[in-house]
Amino acid sequence: MSDLFCPARFFVARHGDAAYETPRGVITEAGGWLTPLGLSQARELGESLRTENIATVVCSNVARAQETARVAAEMLGVDWTSLPGFEEYRVGELVGQRFGDAGMQRVLAAWMDGDLDAAFPGGESGLDVVNRYREALRDLADQYRGESVLVISHGGVMSLALPRLSTNVRNDLARRQYIPNAVPAEVLVDADSFRIEHWPGKADKSVI
For 64-80, b/e burial (b = at least 16 CB within 10 A) is bbbbbbbbbbebbebeb
Q: DSSP 3-state assignment of 68?
A: helix
Cα radius of gyration rounded to whole Å, the chain: 16
| CA proximity to 45, closest of 65, 75, 88 | 75
Q: What is the pTM of this model?
A: 0.94
pLDDT of residue 207: 54
Q: Average pLDDT, whole number, for the chain?
A: 94
pLDDT tens sequence across 80-119: 999 999 999 999 999 999 988 999 999 999 999 999 999 9
pLDDT of residue 71: 98
CA 201 to chain CA centroid, Å, is: 12
Helix, strand, coil percent values for the chain (each to nearest 5): 40, 20, 40
Q: Which CATH code, of 3.40.50.300, 3.40.50.720, 3.40.190.10, 3.40.50.1240, is assigned to 8-207?
A: 3.40.50.1240
* pLDDT beyond 80 at 30: yes
The pLDDT confidence band at residue 201, using thresholds 50, 70 and 90, is confident
pLDDT of residue 24: 85
pLDDT tens sequence across 131-162: 999 999 999 999 999 999 999 999 999 999 99
Q: DSSP string spanning 168-196?
A: SS-TTGGGSSBPPBT--EEEEE-SS-EEE
What is the percentage of the chain residues whose pLDDT exceeds 90? 86
Return the half-sphere exposure (C-beta side, CA atoms, 13 A cut-off) of residue 31: 11
pLDDT of residue 1: 45
For 23-52, b/e burial (b = at least 16 CB within 10 A) is eeeebbbebbbbeeebbebbbbbbebbeee
Q: Hey, how many other C-beta atoms are within 10 angstroms of the C-beta on 84? A: 11
Instruction: State mean pLDDT over 186-201.
Output: 94
Residues 1 and 141: beta-carbon distance below 8 Å: yes
| Cβ-based burial of 128 (10 A; exposed 0-12, middle 13-18, buried ≥19) | middle
pLDDT of residue 202: 77
pLDDT of residue 5: 61
**Residues 46, 26: Cα–Cα separation, whole Å:** 30
pLDDT of residue 4: 45
The pLDDT confidence band at residue 175, using thresholds 50, 70 and 90, is confident
pLDDT tens sequence across 34-47: 999 999 999 999 99
Query: Which residue(s) pair with 166 in the sheet?
Result: 194
Report the largest interatomic distance among the alpha carbons of the chain, rounded to a whole angstrom.
48
**Residues 149, 79: Cα–Cα separation, whole Å:** 11
Strand 33-34, strand 8-14: pairing: unpaired
Which residue did the predictor score with more confidence, 172 or 44?
Answer: 44
pLDDT of residue 153: 98
